[in-house]
Amino acid sequence: MSDNENTQATPDRDLIESVWAEARDLIKRLEGSTVQRFAVAAGDYKIEIERGSPPAAQGMPGTAPHPPPPHLSPSGPVATGAGPGMSIAPGARMASGVFTIGDLEADNRVPVLAPLVGTFYSAAQPGAKPFVEVGSSVEPGQAVCIVEAMKMMNEVAAGEGGKVAEILVENGEWVEFEQVLMYLEPADD
Amino acid sequence: MFEKVLIANRGEIALRVARACRELGIKSVAIYSTADAESAVVRFADEAVHVGPHHPGKSYLHIPNVIGAAQKTGADAIHPGYGFLSEDPFFAEICSDNGITFIGPRPDVMEKVGDKAIARDLMQKAGLPLLPGTIEPVQTAEEAQEIADGIGYPVIIKAVAGGGGRGMNVVRRAEDLVRLYQTTRATAQAVFKDSAVYIERYLEAPRHTEVQLVCDSHGKGVYFFERDCSVQRRHQKLIEEAPSIHLTDEQRRDIGERAVAGALAVGYTGAGTMEFLLDHQGNLSFMEMNARIQVEHPVSEMVTSVDLIQEQIRVAAGEPLSVSQEDIVLRGHAIECRVNAEDPDRDFAPAAGRLDVYVPPGGPWTRVDSHCYPGWNIAPFYDSLIATLIVWAPTRLEAIERMDRALSEFQIEGRGVKTTIPFHRRVLADEQFRSGDVTTDFVEHFLAAEALAAT
């Protein structure tokens, strides 16, 4: 994905360091789980982790072709540096198209994705109270926002219950298919 | 002129349109499904919008997402390419409802020419030659029998709503007529939800001849001469060339003028193709009109030196045609081979996969329109077209030699990937093909003869 961006930027060293620290943390959490492939996107950056050796034909169509990581241990993933199994890619379009989640048990942030191309609205009507704000608690299936396409209001529901951790798009902003709209932090129990 | 054009398509045609936009100084917007995130047009276009998963119904054919992508990026026009939404009057209407120009004919015109019965009626009135047969759908079996006996056998019964070789049956003997009439109606009802059929004379081995035209919104139209697309298999074209060597200059001008007159008579605007069958006595008969740009448009570009996509965009923007009929001069001969990811040795079964090696040919008068590059994955859920390879030469035989040379350079390799290149080279070496005596049953006979020789 990184090679098809029209605007390339070089991530700065500090940012790489902090993303990498987060990635190490994530990899640790994946130990013992059945997660094969894992990707998170936040703002302009993405972390993609692939474990095991998937057959050549496997993998989500459209995701960047990453060769399987060369450093594997039978007991789980081992952080060995930014090998080909992991990529940190800058780019404005990163939030969409590459988002694949194998299993979310290891991460406590759940993305809410745009189900279609349209305009994001945080409230049911202009001036009305937003469906949710950062910190709001949501029930599974609760409407968290609207994506409007061709005058059709499509409510977007939370897949599971929890707290709204972050909202990534502005009210009235156009969103693409599967763009991450917000993150939820599932309830702990 | 447009500021920004969204291309509602994928593959080679999306890239072809984006290239035309760039040369015209228009910004282009690509749309892509999840499977096409790494596609050439996404890289090339000025912007790209993810519109859905790989399933075409949820991405390239998903009208709200396509319109949404145009609104998101502020595109003032949509080029539909071919296939997908290109001949959907409903989509064209929605574009206009949303203040976006659809690059193609008006929705009502598109609907008329898309209905075979209406198109036959309109084109006959406009002075185009038709095969003997009915204009109005046939209502009863008795009527069908009477009409068929009047035309003389063989006849063909066709579904009004049919297309792509489906919903038609050839009747060779009078006693089979009623049975096949009923079968065709039943199939038409089941497949196209419309049981209406018409009957016309069946030509056993015609040549497929089609006239390229472009009409502007100022009542002017021009033709870009004809293409011969007789090398086809199950109604899928494999090799196309321009011009047809079977028309005299006088015939060529006459059919071109009539095609333009027919298009203008129905209020057609944009690029379109009139399909004709050419019989062995040199008679052309109107078959249908395609209200879109076609895969094989480059051969017409090569012999007339006009960029048809640019012309199509110009007239959609309301500008007059940039060329007059006198400017369009036929020069030399062009051939196109469709290089598909198919295995000719296994009945042209799809043979898709990742392209580990992709080295297109080059050299003089050799054009490759393709979205492929090393590492690109030909996905099984879209069409199998890898590239259209087009060559030009002063004469047909020189064009054949040049095409064979270009095909010999074309390297495509990948696990599970097979291409139609070896098939094309065998056809180019065939004496009958080289003589130009090719009819629509050529491929069938060619393959049968090859199979026989192999045993």
In this predicted structure, what is the pLDDT of residue A7? 33
- Cα distance between residue B20 and residue A170, in whole Å: 35
Beta bridge partners of A174: A119
The residue-averaged pLDDT of B50-57 equals: 94
State how far the alpha carbon of A50 is from the alpha carbons of A16, A34, A68, A121, B324, in Å: 19, 12, 7, 34, 59
Whether the complex's predicted ipTM surpasses the cut of 0.95: no
Write out chain A residues lying below 8 Å of B65, CB-based: 116-118, 149, 177
The arrangement of secondary structure in A110-186, i.e. its CATH architecture, is Beta Barrel (2.40)
Domain boundaries of chain A, sorted by first residue: 2-90, 110-186
**Which of A37, A139, A154 has its CA nearest to residue A181?**
A154
Within 10 A of A62 (CB to CB), how many other CB atoms are there? 22
Q: Does B415 touch chain A (CB under 8 A)?
A: yes
Which of A62, A166, A46 is closest to A94 using CA atoms? A46
Low-confidence ranges of chain A (pLDDT < 70): 1-107, 188-189
The number of angstroms, rounded, from the C-alpha of A19 to the middle of its chain's C-alpha atoms is: 14
Rounded mean pLDDT, B279-297? 95
Question: Which pLDDT value is given to residue A78?
Answer: 31
Higher pLDDT, B96 or A103: B96
Residue numbers in B near A89 (CB within 8 A): none
| Interface test with chain A among B49, B66, B91, by most A beta carbons within 10 Å | B49
Token pair listed for B240: 């196309």
DSSP string, B289-301: EE-S--TTHHHHH
Q: Residue A156: which of A184, A128, A135 has the closest Cα?
A: A184
Using an 8 Å Cβ cutoff, are B95 and B78 in contact? Answer: yes
How is residue B5 written in tokens?
A: 């054009």
Report pLDDT for A94. 30
- Given a cut of 80, whether residue B329 has pLDDT beyond it is yes
Spatial separation of the C-alpha atoms in residues B159 and B135, rounded to whole Å: 12
Q: Does B278 lie at the interface with A, CB-CB under 8 angstroms? A: no
Does residue B48 belong to the interface with chain A, where contact is any CB pair within 8 Å?
Answer: yes
As a CATH number, domain B4-103 is 3.40.50.20
- Mean pLDDT of the B341-355 span: 93
Residue ranges of B 361-390 with Cβ closer than 8 A to chain A: 375, 377, 379
Which of A65, A152, A178 minimises the CB distance to B50? A178
Residue B192 burial (10 A CB sphere; 0-12, 13-18, 19+): middle
Mean pLDDT score, B376-393: 95
Superfamily of domain B207-454 in the CATH hierarchy: ATP-grasp fold, B domain (3.30.470.20)
Cβ–Cβ contact A101 with B under 8 A: no
Q: What is the spatial distance between Cα B426 and Cα B404, in angstroms, rounded to a whole number? A: 9
**A26: CB partners within 8 A, 6+ apart:** A38, A40, A47, A49, A106, A107
Superfamily of domain B132-201, CATH level 4: ATP-grasp fold, A domain (3.30.1490.20)
CA distance B187 to B71: 41
With a cut of 50, say whether residue B331 has pLDDT above it: yes
Each domain of chain B, given as residue ranges in start order, spans 4-103, 132-201, 207-454
Q: Give φ, ψ of B392 to 5 degrees.
A: -125, 145
Lowest mean pLDDT among A41-55, B96-110, B249-263, B281-295: A41-55
Lowest mean pLDDT among B47-56, B115-124, B290-299: B115-124
Is the backbone of residue B98 left (phi > 0), alpha (psi -120 to 50) or beta?
alpha
